[in-house]
Amino acid sequence: MSGSRKLLLVGGLLLVLWGMSYGLYFALFDEHQALESITASLAAAFAHAAGGELAQAHAALDRYSAARFEYLREVDVHSHWSGLALLLVLFGLLFEQLAYTERTRWALAAVLLAGSFIFPLGVILQTVQRGAGPEALAGTAAALLTMALAAVAAGFARQKG
Amino acid sequence: MDTTRHRAATAAFPAGGARRLLMLGGIALILAGMILGDIFAVFILHQNAARIGEQLLAAAEAVAAGESQAASDPILQIGGPGGLLEHRGTTVDTHVHIIAFGYLAVLLALVLPYVDLSEQRQKQLAGLFLFGATLLPVSVFMIYYVGLAYSPLPSIGWASLFADFGGLLVIVACAGFLGGLWRHLRGGRPPSAAFELLLERRGSSRLLRVGGTLLVLAGYLHGGYYAAVHRAQHERRDAALLRELVQVAAAENLPRAAETVNAYGTLQAEKAVHIAAHSHLIEFGTLALLLTFVQPFVFLSEPWKRRWVATLLAGSVILPVFVLLELRWGLVAGGIADLGGLLVILGLCGMLVGLLRTTGRLDAEGGAAR
């Protein structure tokens, strides 16, 4: 088995385990609390507004937006880690069909694996720190991943048989 | 067609073996997930969105009337336990998890020649995986209906706990397969030669590999574009519209509140079509890549194989593109998107006919040999 195939199969299955374990942790310890917080803050906003307390209503809406921001990113991270992991395993099975040398294939596999882990990591870090750092990390990893995917498509297209 | 090649390829999936169990289980899961997705789109999605709008308007009317309790009740109807968002969320989660587990089962079946475990252990792990992969989505689907009945916990019901247990079983099974793969890489038995026969280098297989990768690439490019250009703006508009809604409702301006609720609904639709386009492009791309492994079993001439592949790929592009255009062209775009879905199904049916011809030919040859 070639090094690139090894890297993608082992890395992909490890990422499958990581993505699913994160999903299990999220479902057990975070999801219900997050959904409760989102609903409670929105309900409080409307209740305060009915009582004529607009400042409190707006504060409750701020809490709602913050909780929803975090929840959506946590769900996205679970689905992207798991989805990208499936793609890595799939490419692992097909990678030897690429019209590149093994050295290039290995480099592509490494970029795909690193991008697949770092891109969702950058997204989840946005829930900890809202600055440009996590966004830049996610953006850079996503750009690398996209370029690697384009190179894979070109490699399959160039393959002569 | 080379019958020896077909026989060898079919031998790679022995009856009653772990590989066939995972392959058939995976295909069944993918089909179940797609059917559920269609049912969800037709019977739940739009009705659910309309009810959310009605509840938001009811909350705004209660705010205008100065009734605090009546203002928060409709919100609990939307987001609380047994609410509209839970119904929508659990149905989407069921659809997404069934299909993802189906893809994973098929991939594990293909990886199995590199997993250095006894056939009996492989079958145990395959059974464990398929049990967990069924338990999780079924339990997630039941969350809305079971609620917190007889639950020992204040906010997590039995259905959620069973879903989590299903997820744990899938993780354990995957860890077992990974352990077997690791043993193989550290010098275990050589893989079955039959596996390599599953890959065709040229023709329709190459078209599927290139097309599938381009679809996945398009899906990620669209996701990146949405994240960079629209996501933050949508989140700001979401917050601003809710802020405006409570403000105009408190000022007893109900016609304006109704307009704001409509604008809020349009925003949710905008978000939904972008996410649907992103996820369907990637899903169809993954499906096309997986179908690469099926092509050696499709007993059709190469031009016909290519036609079915082209039909599938055309539908895979048309559906997400016209889902995106639904916001501008409304039902016309929706109809064309449905046509794209139909093309995907037609392409799959064409390949299925080729597969059935393969098995029919092998059966006939087996009978002649006897």
- Of B140, B157, B187, which one is at a domain's C-terminal end? B187
Chain B touched by A55 (CB under 8 Å): no
* Among the partner residues B156, B175, B246, nearest to A45 by beta-carbon distance: B246
Q: Assess A151–B contact: CB distance below 8 Å, yes or no.
A: no
Q: What is the rounded CA–CA span in Å between residue B104 and residue A84?
A: 12
Of B158, B187, B216, the last residue of a domain is B187
CA–CA separation, B171 vs B49, rounded Å? 34
In a domain, B198, yes or no: no
Please, which residues have CB within 8 angstroms of residue B302's CB and are 6 or more apart in sequence?
B203, B204
- Residues A78-135 pLDDT 10s: 999 999 999 999 999 888 889 899 999 999 999 999 999 999 999 999 988 887 889 9
What is the per-residue pLDDT for A129? 84
Per-residue CA distances from A13 to A20, A69, B13, B219 (Å)? 11, 29, 22, 22
The sign of the torsion formed by the CA atoms of A93, A98, A102, A103 equals negative
Which pLDDT score, from 0 to 100, does residue B198 have? 63
Partner-chain residue, chosen from A21, A86, A93, that has the shortest CB–CB distance to B104: A86
Assign residue B331 the CATH number of its domain.
1.20.120
Q: Which domain holds residue B48?
A: 8-187
pLDDT digits (tens), chain B, 370 positions? 456 655 665 666 677 788 888 988 888 898 888 888 878 877 887 788 888 889 999 999 999 888 888 888 898 888 877 788 888 888 889 999 999 999 999 999 988 888 988 989 999 999 999 999 999 999 999 998 888 888 888 778 899 999 999 999 999 999 999 999 999 888 866 666 555 556 666 688 889 999 999 999 999 999 999 988 999 899 999 999 999 999 999 998 999 999 999 999 899 889 989 999 999 999 999 999 988 888 877 778 888 888 999 999 999 999 999 999 988 888 888 889 888 988 988 888 888 787 777 666 665 665 544 4
Quote ipTM for the complex.
0.89
Residue B209 lies in a domain: yes
**Domain co-membership, B221 together with B109:** no
- Looking at the fold, whether B225 and B181 belong to one and the same domain comes out as no
pLDDT at position B367: 54
Nearest-neighbour CA in chain A from B370: distance (Å):
36
Q: Let me know whether B52 and B156 are in one domain.
A: yes
Q: Are residues B217 and B133 in the same domain?
A: no
Looking at the structure, do residues B218 and B176 belong to the same domain, yes or no? no
Number of domains making up chain B? 2
Q: Calculate the CA A76 to chain-centre distance.
A: 6
The residue ranges of every structural domain in chain A are 3-155
Identify whether B370 is part of a domain. Answer: no
Q: Does B193 touch chain A (CB under 8 A)?
A: no
